[in-house]
Amino acid sequence: MKAFFDASDVRIEEFEQLCSQAVSLSDYPHAAGIESNVLIYESAALRALIGEEEAERALLSELNKCLRSGPGVLVIRSMYNDHSVIDASTKLFKDIVREEREQGFGLGDHFGNNERIWNSFQKVCIKDPKTFVAYYGNPLLGLVATAWLGPFYQITAQVNNVKPGSKAQSPHRDYHLGFQASDDVIRFPAPIQIMSQYLTLQGAIAHTNMPLESGPTLLLPFSQQYPPGYIAYVHPEFVDYFNANCVQLPLQKGDGLFFSPALFHGAGTNHSTSDRLANLLQVSSAFGRPMESIDTQCMINAVYPVILDMKREKGIKDRFLNDILAAIADGYSFPTNLDTDPPKGGYAPIPEKQLVLRAIEDLWPPEKLRDALKDYAGRRRA
Ligand SMILES: [Fe+2]
């Protein structure tokens, strides 16, 4: 594999070949069936294996295979067989949406008139710890997260209520690189692009029945296997191929859908007269964190006057500036608080490094940057 992908590495024929594979049920002995190349698991069958050491390990292997070298997507039917947990959560979601609207919150929704709750995970936890424990203590959630990420992970969640008439999304991949502009994606080495899919698990819990006319997620099985997919998904021929070949599965309230973040997918058009309500989960690997915690604010405040002096005295090269800021300032937008630090133009919020670059460009006095960094950190706090 090349160290860096470029535009010439994107070939629709290779993508078509990958996405033309068919799933064989004999490769997935724990699955209850296959619908449109998506593996279907029954909640009761999986629950029966939890705690049975060898059987559980075989199941974890199977789920991992499905997400990595299989179709990349699976459904757990009746993952929440006790609908009272779902209904209690749905009620909390509605309360939160109403309260946030009253407070002028709920910004950053890229779905137009739809309703979005950022960090529904923490908001539900604080509002109703009992419901939270019943919801996130679901052993099937831990099972599928462990199958993909191993034993250490962090859950985040956003609620998405898609109103009747809401249009389909264009196909995309998800967090991490799915949130970066194409110009930035191409600067990441190919192995990092591929590896990044192993750092997150995407999930959606259905809080309403989702018949096909309500527009459940459009999915392209096997598309997660395409190495330059983070570059390819915006290309018109890939969009056309997706639109011609994607599949859609009706979901029932309480079902769970899980997929690799590298799977090409998108929300469908809601042609029905009802809302389509899902709690979207990202489960993140514990890896990707540094070994020591660094106070970037205090380091930037210390270094900034030195950089300003250098700039005033003999100018400063962009490359040098980039390298020193890459060392001390956070170059990545996440994790953040998406209510108060919303995405800009559909992409990631501005990282700390950009803020410092602006300060240097405009020769802010150190106190101004100090205050801006403090505000910035405050905006990003959960
Ligand atoms: Fe997505």
Report CA(176)–ligand 1 centroid distance (Å).
11
Average pLDDT, the chain: 94
The answer for residues whose C-beta is within 8 angstroms of residue 143's C-beta and 6 or more apart is: 46, 50, 56, 59, 60, 63
| pLDDT for 58 beyond 90 | yes
Nearest to 134 by CA among 124, 144, 146: 124
The pLDDT tens digits for 182-230 are: 999 999 999 999 999 999 999 999 999 999 999 999 999 999 999 999 9
pLDDT band at residue 110 using 50, 70 and 90 as cut-offs: very low
Query: How far apart are the CA of 51 and the centre of ligand 1, in A?
Result: 32
- Report whether pLDDT(108) > 60: no
Please report the pLDDT score of residue 347 as a whole number.
72
* CA 171 – ligand 1 centroid, Å: 8
- Tell me what pLDDT residue 109 has: 53
Q: In this structure, which topology does domain 12-285 adopt according to CATH? A: Jelly Rolls (2.60.120)
Residue 293: pLDDT over 50: yes
CA of 242 to the centre of ligand 1 (A): 14
Q: Is the pTM of this model over 0.85?
A: yes
Ligand 1 centroid to Cα of residue 154, in Å, is 18
Check whether 103 has a pLDDT greater than 70: yes
CA–centroid distance, 178 to ligand 1, in Å, is: 8
- The CA 265 to ligand 1 mean position distance, Å, reads 6
pLDDT at 326 over 70: yes
Q: What's the 263 CA to ligand 1 centre distance in angstroms? A: 9
Q: How far is the CA of 343 from the centre of ligand 1 (A)?
A: 14
What are the boundaries of each domain within the chain?
Answer: 12-285, 296-380
pLDDT at residue 97 tops 60: yes
Three-class SS of the chain: CCCCCCHHHCCHHHHHHHHCCCCCHHHCCCCCEEECCEEEEEHHHHHCCCCCHHHHHHHHHHHHHHHHCCCCEEEEECCCCCHHHHHHHHHHHHHHHHHHHHCCCCCCCCCCCCEEECCHHHHHHHHCHHHHHHHHCCHHHHHHHHHHHCCCEEEEEEEEEECCCCCCCCCECCCCHHHCCHHHHCCCCHHHHHHHHHHEEEEEEECCCECHHHCCCEECCCHHHCCCHHHHCCCHHHHHHHHHHCEECCECCCCEEEECCCCCEECCCCCCCCCEEEEEEEEEECCCCCCCCCCHHHHHHHHHHHHHHHHHHHCCCHHHHHHHHHHHCCCCCCCCCCCCCCCECCECCCCHHHHHHHHHHCCCCHHHHHHHHHHHHHHHCC
How far apart are the CA of 239 and the centre of ligand 1, in A? 14
Q: Ligand 1: distance of its center to the CA of 8 in Å? A: 26
- 275: Cα within 13 Å, side-chain hemisphere: 15
pLDDT at residue 167, as a whole number = 93
**Mean pLDDT value across residues 39-63:** 97
Longest Cα–Cα distance of the chain, Å, equals 71
* pLDDT of the residue at 111: 46
Whole-number pLDDT of residue 355:
95
Give me the mean pLDDT over the 286-291 stretch.
90
For residue 99, give Cα distances in angstroms to 219, 341, 354. 33, 19, 33
The pLDDT, as a whole number, for residue 173 is 97
Between the CA of residue 69 and those of 46, 62, 100, 262, what are the distances in Å?
A: 21, 10, 41, 12
Residue 91 Cα to ligand 1 midpoint, Å, equals: 24
Ligand 1 centroid–CA 266 distance in Å is: 6
Ion ligand 1: residues, Cβ under 5 Å: 174
- pLDDT for 348: 84
